Amino acid sequence: MDRYAVAGNPVAHSRSPDIHAAFARETGQVLTYERLLCPLDAFEATVRAFAAAGGRGCNVTVPFKFEAASLASRLTPRATLAGAVNVLRFDADGWLGDNTDGAGLVSDLQRNAGRPLAGLRMLLIGAGGASAGVLGSLVAARPAEIHIVNRSPDKALALVASHQAFADHHGVRLRSGGLDQTDGRYDVVINGTSSSLSGAGLPLPQPDRLVLAAGGVAVDMMYGKPAQGFLRWAADQGGPSACLRDGLGMLVEQAVESFELWRGVRPDSAPVLAELRRQVEAAC
């Protein structure tokens, strides 16, 4: 039986096995999908051992998305742009690396939430692998501006530089700065940091500053309880008409892209997302 996994550290919380099991039942595919805990200093060895034992591919989560890119002999254009990989396919002639995070995020916002991104002013918090993975797809959605802020401003500047030509082609303004350098209000605020995993909530140093416009869109890439602190702040900022999204929709939609890359069939995300949302909300 074909084997797949989600590789990361931590990984015990991941809902990916449930998602891919549901996709397999829906599409009639025969496979297994497991959690692969990788020691921080042994990601490559762990993944190679999994592939050698019959693994056909894996998703990659924090903190290994940049390292995963170096393991692939071929990268898709969106993975090349991101410099980060969240899905590997173990082909006989060399591993293929892709990044489906951005496609998942944009699909969840524009289709599932019904919030087009074109022409909007956007704040992306964080410049690590999660933000690198989604930036290209956010640019392709043609917002007016994306302002990237990060604890280390140099990393935000480097992320802008790596996407500048792509942004220029799409007519999108990119800017960078530190976490304390937000200015004005944004139509969309996305938390791409791992602060939610530690329960830190809002990663910005001045939580009382108005950042999210009334009725704006706020997204935490984490889901369930870890995302609640950020989303409570966003609700206070954006008011009753704000659109609040945790990362569950993004997780399911990026899994659709991964499943299609591995199996050649595209599952329907709607019933899986609805059931998973019910489970997560019950757990909260």
Would you call 65 a catalytic residue per the annotation? yes
Whole-number percent of the chain with pLDDT over 90: 85
pLDDT at 103 > cutoff 70: yes
31 residue type, one letter = L
Active-site annotation holder among 3, 20, 56, 65: 65
Residue 271's pLDDT is 96
Burial 197-208 (b: 16+ CB within 10 A, else e): eeeebbbbeeee
Provide mean pLDDT across the span 43-47: 98
Q: Mean pLDDT score of the chain, rounded to an integer?
A: 94
Residue 24: CB atoms within 10 A of its CB come to 20
Residue 18's pLDDT is 94
> Residue 107 — very low, low, confident or very high, per pLDDT cuts 50/70/90?
very high
| Residue from 7, 44, 57, 123 nearest 257 by CA | 57
pLDDT at 225 > cutoff 90: no
Contact 218, 212 (CB under 8 A): yes
Helix residue ranges, H only, the chain: 16-27, 43-52, 65-71, 77-82, 101-107, 129-140, 153-170, 228-238, 248-263, 269-283
Contacting residues for 92 by C-beta, under 8 A, at least 6 apart: none
Which superfamily does CATH assign the domain made up of 2-98+254-267 to? Leucine Dehydrogenase, chain A, domain 1 (3.40.50.10860)
Contacting residues for 217 by C-beta, under 8 A, at least 6 apart: 109, 113, 115, 120, 187, 188, 189, 238, 242, 243, 245
Eight-state DSSP code of residue 58: E
CATH 3.40.50.10860 segments of the chain:
2-98+254-267
Residues in the annotated binding site for NADP(+): 126-130, 221, 247
Residue 45's pLDDT is 98
Provide mean pLDDT across the span 239-253: 96
Residue 32's pLDDT is 98
Residue 197's pLDDT is 59
Provide mean pLDDT across the span 238-251: 95
Q: Residue 216: CA atoms inside 13 Å, Cβ hemisphere, count? A: 24
Structure tokens at 231: 């989303």
Provide mean pLDDT across the span 128-157: 96
Residue 201's pLDDT is 62
Residue 203's pLDDT is 76
How, if at all, do strands 87-91 and 55-60 pair? antiparallel
CATH 3.40.50.720 segments of the chain:
102-245
Residue 4's pLDDT is 98
Provide mean pLDDT across the span 106-111: 97
Structure tokens at 263: 């199996």
Residue 13's pLDDT is 86
Q: What is the distance between the alpha carbons of residues 72 and 6, in angstroms, rounded to a whole number?
A: 16
Question: Mind giving me the DSSP string for 93-155?
Answer: TEEEEE--HHHHHHHIIIIIS----TT-EEEEE--SHHHHHHHHHHHHT--SEEEEEESSHHH
Which superfamily does CATH assign the domain made up of 102-245 to? NAD(P)-binding Rossmann-like Domain (3.40.50.720)
Whole-number percent of the chain with pLDDT over 70: 97
Q: What is the pLDDT of residues 16-42, one digit of tens each?
A: 999 999 999 999 999 999 999 999 999
Contacting residues for 236 by C-beta, under 8 A, at least 6 apart: none
Q: What is the distance between the alpha carbons of residues 248 and 168, in angstroms, rounded to a whole number?
A: 31
Q: What is the pLDDT of residues 159-201, one digit of tens each?
A: 999 999 999 999 999 999 999 999 989 999 999 987 765 656 6
Structure tokens at 179: 């976490």
Which of 129 and 48 is assigned the larger pLDDT?
48
Phi, psi of 192 (to 5 degrees): -105, 15
For 36, 162, 221, the CA distances from 256, given in Å and listed in that order, are 20, 27, 17
pLDDT at 283 > cutoff 90: no
Give this prediction's pTM: 0.93
> Residue 209 — very low, low, confident or very high, per pLDDT cuts 50/70/90?
confident
